[in-house]
Copies of this chain bind each other. A is one copy, B any other.
Amino acid sequence: MTKKEPRLSGVKEIARRANVSIGTVDRVIHNRYGVSPKTRDKINVIIRELDYEPNLLARRLASRVIRIATLIPLVSDETSFWEAPLLGIGQAESEIKQYNVVIDKYFFDQNDKDSFVKQSQKILRKKPDGILMVPDFIQEAVKFTDKCKHLNIPYVFMDSDIPDQPSLSYIGPNLYSSGYLAGNLVSYVTREKDAVLILNISKDIEKQNHILRKEEGFRGYFKDRGSKKRIEKIDIKRVDPKSIEKEIAAVLTKHKDIKLLFVTNSRVSVVASCLKRLDKKLILIGYDFIRENIESLKAGDIDFLICQKPGEQAYKGVMTLYKFLVQKSEIEQVLFMPIDIITKENYQFYRN
């Protein structure tokens, strides 16, 4: 139970060696104004000599609070998808609030551009130290982040990227690859002569980059292999269960050789119900670890879910900002999430 011996490579030691006060050392460490080039150089040399690494514990204890803002979609009744990211943010929050970090959460409506703009303005007024956001509305997000750049506020994109707008980091799925993986699964669970059906279900599919990229990836898999597998597709824009069922019934009646359905988003549990009512037992692959889908998976009505840990995405987004703000450490510019395959027999162990 000996007392810790004092550290001999801290600011004190640097100050002693440089014959200055620790205040001056602090100024150099943080690149603040008001140090003569001469003493600055002298101190920097010593810092390198000692291989100085700041004690983050002491740093966080002594310094002012760090504020991180998050801007993500509201949990809607259309989908509970955004529950997990919110939980992920909460987890990050509870881990780092002890380190003198505060997280302010903002939400926008995915069907309402203006809500995105309004919330982003609110955030800017608060001048946070960093921002995590889902840039669903590209033009508006570009305007927003332009202002961030101007104010020197770092920002991280999650779930979808704007490659042209340089961010601290993008954390999210690789959509093409996840569609490609679906193709891979299909090649295992169907015969070459079996046809498959792609289902895009959304009010405006054209604007849903997610859906388009996944379909591309899926088709890419078969194209790359010169496969002649027949791929049917329907775009369903009226998203009430009845309309969906009608459209599915029509296609299946027309194409009897369809053995597998691939739903390009989280709406797969609705399709599962349709198939049940139509009394068709086909293989069903879809996306996302959300409650409704898990229920269908358990019941055996969905065969495979492809998931990309949205909770962890958000958690990592916050942590990335924290690490950058506190440690000024290097940040991976793009972080693709793993592409997980979930079945009835491993969902119990999955952590979203």
Whether the Cβ atoms of B4 and A65 lie closer than 8 Å is yes
**14 A-B residue contacts at CB 8 Å?**
A56-B98, A57-B98, A61-B61, A174-B349, A177-B348, A177-B349, A180-B345, A181-B345, A183-B345, A188-B189, A188-B283, A221-B345, A338-B351, A340-B340
Q: With an 8 A cutoff between CB atoms, is A152 at the interface?
A: no
In the complex, the count of this chain's copies comes to: 2
Residue on B with the closest CB to A337? B349
Given the complex of chains A and B, what is the CA–CA distance between A55 and B99 in angstroms? 8
- Asked if A184 CB lies within 8 Å of chain B CBs, one says yes
Contact: B338 with A64, CB < 8 Å?
A: no
Q: Which residues of B contact A174 (CB under 8 A)?
A: 349
Q: Tell me which residues across on chain B come within 8 A of A341, comparing CB atoms.
A: 340-341, 343, 346
Known: A2-B64, A55-B61; 4 extra A-B contacts, CB below 8 A, are A57-B57, A57-B100, A58-B61, A177-B349
Q: Judge whether A57 and B61 touch: CB under 8 Å.
A: yes
Closest to A342 in B: B341
- Cα A348 to Cα B337 in complex, Å, equals 10
A303 within 8 A of B: yes
Interface assignment of A105: CB less than 8 Å from any CB of chain B: no
